[in-house]
Chain A
Amino acid sequence: MRSFLAQGIARLLVLGIAGSFLAILIVLVVVVPFLPGYDPYQQDIMVSLMPPLSEDMGRFHVLGTDFLGRDLLSRLALAGRISLIIALGAVTLSLSIGMVLGLIAGYFRGWTETVIMGIADVQLAIPKVLLLIAVTALFGANLWQLILIIGLSGWVIYGRVARSIALTLREREFVLAARTMGATTSWNIRRHLVPNVTSQMLIVGSYEMSQIILLEASLSYLGLGVQPPTPSWGMMIFEGQNDLVYAPWLSVFPGLALFMLVIVIQIFSQFFTSETQTPR
């Protein structure tokens, strides 16, 4: 049996590696699109499809270039930034809606709960990818629309968790006491319920974030994400897939970036989950 110390060290090591990857990714995503001479949109047909680590007239293409001669690293970084913005925006939106609706349902019970959870059931009955495909097909997709529709379609899971916590909280002494002393409902929800569900909401949110990144990539692979020339990892993989043999870097790097980001977020998500559960 391994000692607690060894387990702790192994855990710290994994977290450290995951943390440094996340830090590198964030620096890349924030800094690279700003580098002078590496405009992610600038086309130059003379340098199209250059392999990684090649140089052309003083411009160094670390990850090579695509068909139109655009620097792959810059596009990768910009796509990552868009992916992160969509994920953060959508998680914030679903978390807020889900938390409010879930707390209201669990606090008021009765028909309010029936209606809110009924809507949740209907939404769960439509497979998410299908729903998003239908909605993006009908309304089109730019950055803000994507945040809006992914955010609106994802509130159910937060709602369910918030409701189940609110169901037990509403019977607790401090909530009852406040109510007896004349606290209004909205004050009670804001001061007593919200602080008690935030940590659970953030745990769900961290896992959902990795799922949204995968979802957004799938949508853009299907041509339903942000539209060109704005880059996205899913679309870059789609564009590169036919040249996987001759120019593998076109799709391998976006695929790798996607994988790294998702796995790092999931490692953190698991860490948060185990930290908040009762120690064993």
Chain B
Amino acid sequence: MIGFVLKRCLQALLTLLGVATVAFALSTLGGDPATLLSSADSTDAEIAAIRTAYGLDRPLIERYTDFMVSAAQGDFGNSLMMNVSATQLVLDRLPATIELAVTAFVLGIGLAFVLGLAIQITQSRLLKGAALTLAFTRQAIPVFWFGLLMMMLFSVHLQWLPTMGRGTLAHLVLPAITLASYELGLYLRLINAGFASEERQEYVRTALAKGQTRTKIVLRHMLPNALLPLITVAGLNLGHLLGGTVVAEVVFSWPGVGRLLIQAVSQRDFPVIMACVVLMAAIFVLMNLIVDLVYALVDPRVRMK
């Protein structure tokens, strides 16, 4: 087990190194910030001065090692627009994003769990068909369009919920449901597929032959096995959820990292863009590391490999 943990941690570290390298490569290839910071009538000397001030005139290798060392310390330089630490800007916005993403995740997977169990225990074809069709339909609608439709219905027509911003629980409802409904569909399909493959296992038939009730078979025997694949997919899918969160934050003016990122993009504020992308990716890598370790804990087959 210790070997597995060490190996997996090393792998996560290498991945983070790769992510930071990609970020550096992108920012170097993506143009010269000095021309952006100067005005149109700046002389070449002024631009050169800006370049020296930001250390852009040094050799590439030197800049790369510098970037990696400060990135490891969580330092991506100051925001070009606001002159505060880019990392601080991201950290200030992070709680809002986590609040939204976690709510959506818990809501989505929780409802999928309840629905999946209900379908499995009742064996209702109608319920299964209706739930899967709705899930299928929802997954064909992009986050921003679904969010706008929800806003039209619940904020504009019914006036039950606020359209935008963050603050009360009511503000959280629409963006969370917009994201959770997508997650719900994804996990419902997975849970159903998991149950379907467990259904054919011999232990189910044995339990039935012994006279066990269907509810007990589903809850005691099938559920733990059917849930296992869910853990891995949940980790991988987090990236998709974070992407969706960016869009939902823009639609609902939710003051999170996603909106910060889009704002930084429109102002071409490179340090903030890099800080957003690298820190979000770091969170994603960390979550996947945790997921893999948990998986190894519950399923010995993984760590034996």
Contacts and interface: CB of A to CB of B under 8 A. Distances in A.
Interface of A: 118-119, 121-122, 124-131, 133-139, 210, 214, 217-218, 221-224, 234, 237-238, 241, 244-245, 251, 255, 258-259, 262-263, 266
B136 interface: yes
Interface of B: 11, 14-16, 18-19, 22-23, 26-27, 29-31, 136-137, 139-145, 148-149, 152, 156, 236, 238-240, 242-244, 246-247, 250, 261-262, 264-266, 268, 270, 273-274, 276-277, 280-281, 284-285, 288
B284 to A, nearest CB: 6
The 3 closest A-B pairs by CB, nearest first: A138-B30, A129-B243, A122-B18
Contact of A221 (B140, B142, B152, B238): B142
User: Chain B interface secondary structure, helix, strand, loop or mixed?
Assistant: helix
B280 A221 contact: no
Given A127-B280, A266-B136, A133 B144 contact: no
Contact of A222 (B137, B262, B280): B262
B148 A128 contact: no
A266 to B, nearest CB: 6
A136 B284 CA distance: 21
A129 B247 contact: yes
Contacts of B238: 127
A217 B243 contact: no
Contacts of B246: 129-130, 133, 222
Given A130-B261, A133-B262, A224-B265, A122 B15 contact: yes
Given A119-B18, A221-B247, 17 more contacts: A125-B16, A126-B277, A127-B239, A127-B281, A130-B261, A133-B261, A133-B277, A134-B273, A137-B265, A138-B26, A138-B31, A139-B29, A221-B142, A221-B250, A222-B250, A237-B144, A258-B145
A15 B90 CA distance: 47
| Most central of A130, A135, A237, A262 by chain B CB within 10 Å | A130
B143 A218 contact: yes
Contacts of B18: 118-119, 121-122, 125
Given A210-B140, A234-B144, A245-B156, A125 B284 contact: yes
A136 B152 CA distance: 30
Contacts of A238: 144
13 contacts: A125-B16, A125-B19, A126-B284, A127-B280, A128-B239, A133-B265, A134-B277, A137-B264, A137-B273, A221-B250, A237-B148, A238-B144, A266-B140
A241 B145 CA distance: 9
Contacts of A122: 15, 18-19, 22
A244 B274 CA distance: 35
Contacts of B136: 263, 266
User: Chain A interface secondary structure, helix, strand, loop or mixed?
Assistant: helix
A218 B258 CA distance: 13
Contacts of B276: 130
| Most central of A119, A134, A258 by chain B CB within 10 Å | A134
Nearest to A138: B30
B19 A130 contact: no
A135 B247 CA distance: 16
A239 to B, nearest CB: 12
A258 B141 CA distance: 8
Nearest to B151: A244
Contact of B144 (A126, A128, A221): A221
Contact of B242 (A130, A217, A222, A255): A130
A125 B274 CA distance: 15
B22 to A, nearest CB: 7
B14 A218 contact: no
A121 B273 contact: no
Contacts of B137: 263
Contacts of A133: 246, 261-262, 265, 277
Contact of B145 (A128, A224, A255): A255
A118 B15 CA distance: 8
Contact of A121 (B15, B22, B239, B277): B15
| Most central of A127, A217, A238, A258 by chain B CB within 10 Å | A127
B247 A218 contact: yes
A222 B247 contact: yes
A151 to B, nearest CB: 17
A237 B145 contact: yes
Nearest to B265: A137
A223 B250 CA distance: 11
Contacts of B144: 217-218, 221, 234, 237-238
A138 B14 contact: no
Contacts of A134: 23, 26, 265, 273-274, 277
A262 B137 CA distance: 10
A222 B152 CA distance: 19
A66 B221 CA distance: 59
Nearest to B18: A122
Nearest to A240: B148
A131 B18 CA distance: 13
A244 B156 contact: yes
A224 B266 CA distance: 9
B242 A223 contact: no
A138 B142 contact: no
